[in-house]
Amino acid sequence: MAEVLERAAPAGRAGYEAYVSGRSGGLLRTAYLLTRDWALAEDLLQTALAKVWLVWRRIDGDPDPYVRAVLVNTYSSWWRRRWNGETPTDEPPELVDVDPHARYDEREAIWRALGRLPKRQRAVLVLRYFDDLTEADVARLLNCSVGTVKSQASRALAKLRIDPTLRPEGDAR
């Protein structure tokens, strides 16, 4: 009981503002890892916080899982930008043949490969490996089964491993 009381959402506007003040920095980082763009991340976070404020009084217990769920589900419902004449694209064009003289940073490659994952898979990786949520927590948050989370994470990691821009170990280029 004591634990529930400690984790319960503080009621009212003051509680909400305290929550935003204390947690929005961390949520912004999660939003950024999902969107890969600080402006979009801020936009996503503000949208999620607005939705949360509308139901704040009805949140029972720790608000974090609910807020995270709103954040991720809002992100999942956003649509990819499409080409339209000279509309900027999300990603720089892919390199067919890596310039052997280029200094290619593997972490940069992982980051870019993450951006090519489907939104759901990217969300699973961010929640599992950045927010350190358990598979059960991620499943509750995404409203799916633990098996689905496992398979999504597994597929996402597999895609990263075979991504052509990520050099396999031992590749002596």
Applying CB under 8 A, which of residues 9, 44, 67, 142 lies at the interface with another protein? 44
In 10 A of CB 159, how many CB atoms? 15
Residue 136 beta carbon to another protein: minimum distance, rounded to whole angstroms:
19
Applying CB under 8 A, which of residues 4, 11, 12, 38 lies at the interface with another protein? 38
Residue 52 beta carbon to another protein: minimum distance, rounded to whole angstroms:
8
| Ramachandran category for residue 167: left, alpha or beta (phi over 0 → left; psi -120 to 50 → alpha) | beta
The separation between CA 36 and the C-alpha centre of its own chain, rounded to angstroms, equals 9
CB 116 within 8 Å of CB 105: no
Residue 4 beta carbon to another protein: minimum distance, rounded to whole angstroms:
26
For residue 59, CA distances in Å to 12, 22, 54 come to 11, 17, 10
d(CA 81, CA 65): 28
If one asks whether residue 29 binds another protein (CB under 8 A), the answer comes out as yes
Which residues of the chain form contacts with another protein (CB under 8 A)?
Answer: 17, 20-21, 24-25, 28-30, 32-33, 36-40, 42-47, 49-51, 53-54, 74, 77-82, 84-96, 102, 105-108, 110-112, 114, 125-126, 129-130, 157, 160-161, 166, 168-169
